[in-house]
Each structure stands twice: as C-alpha cells, then as structure tokens.
Structure 1
Amino acid sequence: MARASVPLEPPASLAEARTKAQKAQKAVQEAERREDEARAALDAAEASRPRGVLAWVTGKAAAAERRILALETLVGERAQDARTRRSIRDGDARGEDRETRAFATAQATHERRQDGERREGLMDLARVDRLRKAMEARPEWAIQGVPALEEHMRRAEAVRRADEAKLREQERRQQEVEDRAYTPRGPSR
C-alpha cells in the first residue's frame, strides 16, 4: 500500500513545452510591440510629410517619400515577423496542450492504478483478518496450512450461503401459502 501513495511527477517534456510556449508568447508580444512602433513611426512620417512647391523644389518631399517607403517596408517586415511568431506560438501552444492532455491521461491512469492497489491492499488486510479469526476459531484447520484453511473457509461460506438460500425459499413458500389462504373480511363489492 505504500507504493500506492506515490504521486505521479509531471514529465520533463511538459515543462519544456510550457517553457517553449511562454517564450513564444513573449516573442509574439515583442514582435507586436516592434510592429506597433514601426506603424507609429510611419503614421508620424505621413503626418509630417512636407507639402507644396517649396518642399518639392528643395527635395524635402522626395526625402520624406523615401523615408515613408522605407517605413512601409519596415512595417511589412515587422508585420510578417509578428505573423510568423504568432504561428509558432500557436504551434507551441498546441504542443503544450498535447503534453498537458497526455499527462492528465497518465495521471488518471496512475490514480486508477493507485485505487486498485489500495483496494487490493485493503482486501489483503481483510483476508489476513479473516484468516486470523478462522485460525482462532478452528485451530485444527490452521494446522493444515493457509491454503487448506482458505479452502475450509470457502466451504463454510458456501454452506452458509446455501442455508440462507434455503431460509429465503422457505419464507417465500410460507408467504405463498399465507397469500392463498387469505380471505378478505368485510363487505365485498
């Protein structure tokens, strides 16, 4: 019964899957933060874009357009990076879920096995108790050894059950006789 109380330890693969999923989540958050920063820089560049003939003549409009184009490219790259990291995160989350379900299944199996071992242990204790009582009650049976003692106990139990079955049958027959002999009293309708 001491073996039955041993708890099941989570496997290393579950811890690895959780760590991997957490790292992937942090990477997604960082990628999304960088994407948001790039979008904010693009929005600021578009809002501060110089307009007019003077900006066109001095080249400030063309420089602003190049900067905006570079920021659009950066936003696209960072958006793609964020999508890729989300995909990785989702795959790692599925892996963690798979490991968690596998551990839950293993834990349930382990608990069922523990319950079975506890029951067997309790049955063994009850068996030992019955054997001890039988040896005290019938020392002549105990002399022949445990297997013979158990056989005598099985036979005695079978006789006891047969006697109980006979008593139940007698009670049933007596009830049938009483039911047949019953006559109602009082007015009949």
Structure 2
Amino acid sequence: MYYTSKIEDTVRIPPHRFDEPVEEVAIEELNDAYVGKIDKKMGLMVTVKDIEDLGVGRVIMGDGAAYHTVTFNALFFKPELHEVIDGEVIEIAEFGAFVRIGPMDGLVHVSQVTDDYITYDGKRGALLGKESKKTLEEGNKVRARVVALSLKGRSSKEIKIGLTMRQPGLGRFEWIEKEKRKKKK
C-alpha cells in the first residue's frame, strides 16, 4: 500500500549549489537523504513528491551551507499484513520464488506456491507442480497475500516479507484465469 505523509525537517543546501533553484536542490538533497530508508510506521520512503514550505536559509559559522526549515510531502510504500498484492517473479530458488512488489521483494516459500507437491527444475529455473503441472518461472505475474512481515532494519534489503499463493484467487495470473473459466462452465 502506498501512503503520503507530510514531514517537517531541515535541509542543507551546499554552497556550490547556491546558483541553482533552491526548491529543486532541496528536493534532490532530501531524496538523497531519505529515499530507500525505512520508517517502522510509514514503511519505505519512495520519493519526495513536493515541497509545501521552504523557510529562509540560515548559515552556520564554519560550514558555509544554508540550512532551510522545510515542510514536504513524501511517498511511502508499506505492505500490510493480509494485503493482497500483485507482483512479478524475479528469481526462482530451490526453496521458493522471490516476487517484486512495488519497491520491495517478498518470498513465496515452496510450501506456499500451491496445494500440489512442488519440485525445483534447476535447468529451467522453475517450480513445477507434480499433479497439476503448474509452473512458476522468472517473469511470471502473480497475485499473492502477505502472511508475514518484518520491517526491522534501516533499508529495503533488511525487510522480510512472506507471501502465500495457496488461497483461492491467488497464484500466477494464468492459473487464476483458468479457475475463473472453470467456474463459469
């Protein structure tokens, strides 16, 4: 889920950038400082959308940079427990599939792919259902539910997101469509 939040802070404008538009420099500096960082309540900061208020700059002795009090709007991404999300399989491993969901990655463990017995085909880089003949490969679009979530840490690499595709209406998009057609008949 994406959220916007209003944040107040101080931004440092380096002296070598004084000749550039202050608001543009402030957005760049804020993005450099915050994008990719985790806030436990808001999630992963994706970008600074805009600046609402940029105060008068103050120079601190011995630094030379201008410090501005700023109020800005930021975009955050935070998956919620039990949220249904769409994503793309970016990697297949023996133990499951990594799925890109927005700016983060989650893991669908082999036990959570389908109700079928799953085997790993290393040559194809695919997970295969024994009886159903369902396959899951890199590049497949999937729908999954968030079943485990840990936002501990300071960056997106330290986040743990557990996903399942075993419930009705979840799985590879082709599987979902096939089930819909089956129910119509």
Q: Fold conserved (TM > 0.5)?
A: no
TM-score, normalising length from structure 1?
A: 0.22
* Greater fraction strand: 2
Q: RCO greater where, 1 or 2, for CA within 8 Å and sep 6 or more? A: 1
* Greater fraction helix: 1
| Structure having the higher Rg | 1
